[in-house]
Amino acid sequence: MIMIIKSSLILSYITLSLISYIECESECLNLEISIIRKVEHEGFHRNVLWLIESPLTKDLKTLLVDSKCTFVLRQDIPNGMFVNPDEIAELSRKGKLVSYIDGSVDIEAPAHEAKSHILYIYLSSTGIEKTSIAIPIHLRYQRSQISGRYAKVMMLKPSLLSWCPGSLNKVCGKGLKVEAPCDNSGKNVCIWKNLTYQALFDEVELYVPVGDLDDYPLVSILTLLLGCAGCIYTLSVLSTTPL
Structure confidence by residue, pLDDT tens digits, 160-170: 999 988 777 88
- Residue 23, pLDDT score: 36
pLDDT of residue 21: 37
pLDDT of residue 45: 94
- What confidence tens digit (pLDDT) does each residue in 22-69 have? 333 447 888 899 999 999 998 899 999 999 999 988 888 888 888 888
Residue 80: which of 202, 211, 206 has the closest Cα? 206
pTM score of the predicted model: 0.76
The whole-number pLDDT of residue 192 equals 94
Mean pLDDT of 218-233: 72
pLDDT at 208 over 80: yes
| pLDDT of 100 higher than 90 | yes
Q: What is the mean pLDDT of the chain?
A: 82
Per-domain residue ranges of the chain: 30-235
Residue 222: the pLDDT is 64
Of the pLDDT bands very low, low, confident and very high (cuts 50, 70, 90), residue 115 is very high
**For the chain, what percent of residues have pLDDT higher than 90?**
49
Question: What integer pLDDT is reported at residue 19 of this predicted model?
Answer: 35
- Check whether 235 has a pLDDT greater than 60: yes
Residue type, 236: S
Residue 176 — pLDDT band, cuts 50, 70, 90? Answer: confident
- pLDDT, tens digit (0-9, with 9 covering 90-100), for 76-91: 999 999 999 999 999 9
Q: Report the pLDDT averaged over residues 7-33.
A: 52
Q: How far apart are the first and last CA of the chain?
A: 118
- Is pLDDT at 75 greater than 70 in this prediction? yes
Instruction: Give me the DSSP letters along 139-193.
Output: EPPPPPBTT--EEEEEEPPPEEEEE-SS-TTSB-S-PPEEEEESSTT-SSEEEEE
Q: What is the percentage of the chain residues whose pLDDT exceeds 70?
A: 81
How far lies 38's CA from each of 35, 102, 114, 120, 226, in Å? 10, 23, 25, 18, 45
Provide the pLDDT for residue 186: 92
